[in-house]
Structure 1
């Protein structure tokens, strides 16, 4: 019997006789999409561009559309003079939030006026062997550090500096110098780098439909445009950005208090992403992908859809309950209360633990400066 030219293409993988046929000369009725067709449609959108917002405490991870993502070749900029890469499957990721006023960030305020940027938020994320747990260490932007000589992504050289603010590493030489400073300070190899800007962060939260948090105290900070009464709130993008940037509305008004709010928000965000069902809603997945990839800059090893899909797939089992989030041990600088100094012995406990893929010891953060904002914000 000759092939029936009136038959449609069917679903790949189904036998020919499973395809609908025309009968009695009447037109074929269009059937509603089956679960399998919906799944294939979702897969097609995913193949077009997947962006994941991962939940490791580092604050933030993104699946992306190829054409949007900006990349930086960190390996070429830093060369071979770097800590040894771990061989047990564990990974370290440096996540930075940029406070530039360039582009869409100009309307938000904060940061620098000349289009340059500093690393307003910095998190070192250690993904343990097996990729079921993560340790996250927030680095206060006001920490005084010894910045090593470094080469930026364009080949420019930047001199070393003693007692420089940590976030000035980024403004001096961009991502490469920020990574170089972190590696010099910790002795840990940063396998990946991710950076997100303020404008993109705000849009991402809006695309997700907001993030729910509970505040135990009133937060009122006109500088970050945040006014929240104690209680449970679903924060939109503007409010979420205000929360992770506020430092005058909680605790002692220091960057340390802001870090505690950031860590609480990241945990709430990580749990919400797992429950909003973006992978069952192709349009939501695509919109999130498009927004995220316009906001993110990644190292070149993550500069392809396949690389990010594989990377994100290895992190999907990490929930907030499997994250340990701490602040790098510091004390206030006696000479300047707006600066902090590294508690080197305690910090070394953390770096040694992560280097050996071990849990962060509680003793490493006992007796260190905290910012006094603990417990102000939590996931509901």
Structure 2
């Protein structure tokens, strides 16, 4: 090899190293840009309602955790928290109409659950409120100004119909005397997309299901459902038990447990694509209060519950009895209902 050859190779090395370095820098910049776009996209997906401002101070007392010292990073929350979770039967948009049918105007709280997470975030109780429960619906402020009229012997799910999330929260707080620290709502298409993004969900039913209304047909046994089937499973009522909302709640509670098991068995951190798909499905159809309307706040809540498994979650239904005024409706069974809510304060 001549000295000229060696010189040419030596001259090429810095250029090659420079090209490799620029490629790595470019890849890093593109990766950061993609991550930044993904964060912005997911964050902007989330819709929110300022429930605290709408309801003011006329609410059950809120437990305020101690503030961290100035030199201390904000710790993950550990105090007990109550979250009102609603499944909305909104028919707005083609996807929701295809899954639910019916009018494209208005919506009701098709599913209502109070999720109580114990102090320390090591156990949780999910309390289902039958939508057919007759309640005293309080007067609720309207976004357009003014307020709704109080109603006696109104169906529970009418609160959402007449006053949206604000009235749903106020009605739940009125009948439970428990402060709802947060509000989370997901619609038909969002739930179905979430189940599909997780790869489906496995449930077991003790009896055959053949429901013309939910369009679900299953033999008794264990089934792996896709998103559309899981939504139908959550909405089935006429083909099980006595055909009441209580039978449907039993299926919904099984589904909640199954989803928790599916999430815990799916290591989303090893698959960025699946993680993004799940996050996009959740945020794309989510409405929250303003305390949970960012990825940072949602991630903080999720991180605080990372030790919570499906075995640590208890599902119950608010104790009810048949309403004296209507055999197709129920009312809270006392004192059992009050004792249940007292345990969550």
Structures share a fold, TM > 0.5?
yes
Offset at residue 215 of structure 1 (A): 2.2
Gaps (5+ residues) in structure 1? Answer: 1-21, 31-36, 51-63, 356-380
* 1:244 paired to 2:221: no
Secondary structure of the residue aligned to 2:335 is helix
Aligned to 1:105: 96
Change (3 A) 1:101 1:209: same
Change (3 A) 1:154 1:314: farther
Secondary structure of the residue aligned to 2:86 is strand
- Equivalent residues of 1:45, 1:282 under 8 A apart: no
Query: How many residue pairs were aligned?
Result: 315
- Equivalent residues of 2:100, 2:188 under 8 A apart: no
- Give the one of 306, 318, 331 matched to 1:328: 318
- Give the one of 238, 243, 248 matched to 1:253: 243
Aligned to 2:52: 75
Counterparts in 2 of 1:1-380, with a 5 A limit? 27=16, 45=35, 48-49=38-39, 65-87=42-64, 89-103=79-93, 104-110=95-101, 113-355=103-345
Quick one: distance in 2 between partners of 1:346 and 1:292? 35
Aligned to 1:11: none
Quick one: distance in 2 between partners of 1:96 and 1:121? 5
Q: Deviations over 1:282-313 (max 9, x none)?
A: 11111222222111100011112211111111
Offset at residue 24 of structure 1 (A): 5.6
TM-score (norm 2): 0.84
Offset at residue 156 of structure 1 (A): 3.7
Quick one: distance in 1 between partners of 2:35 and 2:270? 11
Larger Rg: 2
Quick one: distance in 2 between partners of 1:46 and 1:349? 48
Quick one: distance in 2 between partners of 1:48 and 1:215? 38
Quick one: distance in 2 between partners of 1:24 and 1:102? 61
Gaps (5+ residues) in structure 2? Answer: 1-10, 21-26, 66-78
Quick one: distance in 2 between partners of 1:217 and 1:82? 42
More displaced, 272-281 or 117-126? 272-281
CA-based RMSD: 2.7
Offset at residue 341 of structure 1 (A): 1.0
Quick one: distance in 2 between partners of 1:182 and 1:27? 67
Quick one: distance in 2 between partners of 1:217 and 1:229? 7
